[in-house]
Amino acid sequence: MDTHLTDDVVGPLPGDYKSDVKPIWCPGCGDYSVLAGITRAMATMGLERHDTVVVSGIGCSSRIPAYTSVYGYHTVHGRSLAVASGVKLARPELNVLIFGGDGDGFSIGGNHFLHACRRNVDMTYIVMDNQVYGMTKGQASPTTEADWCESKLTPEGPGVNPIQPVALALACGANFVARGFSNNPNEVARLIVEGVRHPGFSVIHILSPCVTFRPEQRNWKSTVHPYGREPTDDPNEAMRAVLEDDGFGLGIFLAGNRRPFQPESAATRSIAQIEEGFAV
Ligand code: SF4
Ligand code: MG
């Protein structure tokens, strides 16, 4: 990795974590700023590129592995958490970060999300939520409002209430839960750093506007607000507070004390058993 001298400080810069691939997101897409936050977080932590893996599913935000210079695994739709769990259990010394959107994470990958929260493997999941399927041209997703009528597939609105990702993560046992907004990449970076450093499964819900299919989301900059409380380690207290929130509160809701899933007591042993079987 290139290092840079800033006075007497030596260390990586955010640009060291960007690949040579130019993002093809629409101009103004919130995901550009999230990418800036991701590379700032990686530089802040000084992550070794050869010890860091980003995993994604399918969708606009799932292009992150192509745009970063660490190891990347662009998996199939909705399966990023299953693949990432395998990576982390097989190589627990690696930093594993997962990226994706609301459709990939809560619809196609919804079942994996529940069990990743419950299992509590030590990795960090960053969901860029724009309340729409952007890559496939603007269909309602699991986080779309019931009365959003702009899609030709649901001209009278999807008619079902959206899921609440932060509440769902808490209910299923995620050990660190936070919400950020793409317009503030420094804060996105801070939340990612906190999530990576916190033991167990961390969920960081990032509101990231789709300016093409949900142009009204540009107004989120005047809708979001600080969550306004100190993080708690009590999931019940965090849940009570989240249920009072309007879905636009930003900050860390839970920094819990659950013991992460221990790979040495499960995956490593089973790999040893498999190898023993091969040797017979
Ligand atoms: Fe971003 Fe929406 Fe364009 Fe996808 S379709 S790149 S989410 S603005
Ligand atoms: Mg989406």
Q: Is the CB of 210 under 6 A from ligand 1?
A: yes
E strand or H helix that includes residue 74: strand 71-74
pLDDT at 262: 84
pLDDT at 2: 47
pLDDT at 137: 95
In the chain, the number of structural domains is: 1
- Residue 225 inside a domain? The answer is yes
- Residue 33 inside a domain? The answer is yes
Domain boundaries, position 63:
22-278
CATH of the domain at 262: 3.40.50.970
pLDDT at 9: 57
CA 214 to chain centre: 20
- Residue 244 inside a domain? The answer is yes
Q: Is the CB of 134 under 6 A from ligand 1?
A: yes
Q: What is the dihedral of CA 114, 118, 123, 125, to 10 degrees?
A: 30
State which ligand 1 atom lies nearest to the alpha carbon of 28: 8
Q: What is the pLDDT of residues 5-16, one digit of tens each?
A: 445 557 899 999
pLDDT at 276: 66
Euclidean distance between CA atoms 141 and 2, whole angstroms: 41
Q: Is the CB of 133 under 6 A from ligand 1?
A: no
Q: Under 8 Å CB-to-CB from 57, ≥6 apart: which residues? A: 75, 76, 77, 78, 79, 80, 100, 101, 104, 105, 108, 109
- Residue 68 inside a domain? The answer is yes
| ipTM of model over 0.95 | yes
Residues of the chain with pLDDT under 70: 1-9, 263-280
pLDDT at 235: 98
- Residue 182 inside a domain? The answer is yes
Q: Under 8 Å CB-to-CB from 101, ≥6 apart: which residues? A: 57, 59, 60, 61, 62, 127, 128, 129, 130, 133, 134, 141
- Residue 211 inside a domain? The answer is yes
Centre of ligand 1 from the C-alpha of residue 118, in Å: 31
- Residue 108 inside a domain? The answer is yes
The first and second tokens of residue 253, run together, are 């809701």
- Residue 7 inside a domain? The answer is no
